[in-house]
Structure 1
Amino acid sequence: MPGRKRKPAPFKYWASAEKNCIEKKFNQIGASMYRDKRIQALKPKTFLVYQCCMLESAGQESFKLPADAALRDYGISHGTFQRAMKELREAGFIEIVASGKNLSGPTEYKFSRVWRGESAP
């Protein structure tokens, strides 16, 4: 029925830390990502930061994830976050859209297709 909101389906208990297994944010990652050698070449904490970027993007290509939010929300230290973001940029997974230094706020990033050997559409 058009316009009718669907009740969120609960996750399996092994896929959620929420008591009711209802998640407000979640990632959808294809098996090909886990099997890809370029993903496997990332440090585990770097892949964790990439997944956090996916959560923060809420399905959009561009996103902001300040280092303090990474620590507060995901337990990722400032140094780990900075190293991971550098590795993700150098490997072609993300790009900087606008530097936080120039904006007096958080840096804006976007997901890149470079790691896949593609250019932007």
Structure 2
Amino acid sequence: MVTNGAAPDVTNPDCPTRVVLDRIGDRWTTLVVLFLEPGPMRFTKLRGAIGGVAPKVLTQTLRAMERDGLLTRTVHAEVPPRVDYELTDLGRSLLAPIRAVTAWAERHVGEVLDARDRYDRAG
């Protein structure tokens, strides 16, 4: 934890900033943020939109994001019960940086895949 009024410092291994980086660097968190941008979504629809994520893993990701204040979980008293997930203002503040990283990935995916191929062939 940051103590004694020290400013957050990601280079300090004891700084909680690293915990935050772990959360936002998780591939499922990034995709959840992107897919919840338009508004609230139910679990099944979110899982289908993301694709390739196991229900248990998505549940763990959503719980961690809720704990970190990035989204809210609203249970509606219906039969069957309906649960919606929605980004908080804090979660929405991640949209711009995630879009920037996503744009970089889309722009450079060819170069990264070529570099992997070269590395794998050399090894």
Q: TM-score range by the shorter chain?
A: 0.3 to 0.5
Structure index of larger Rg: 2
* Alignment TM-score, normalising by the size of structure 1: 0.45
Alignment TM-score, normalising by the size of structure 2: 0.44
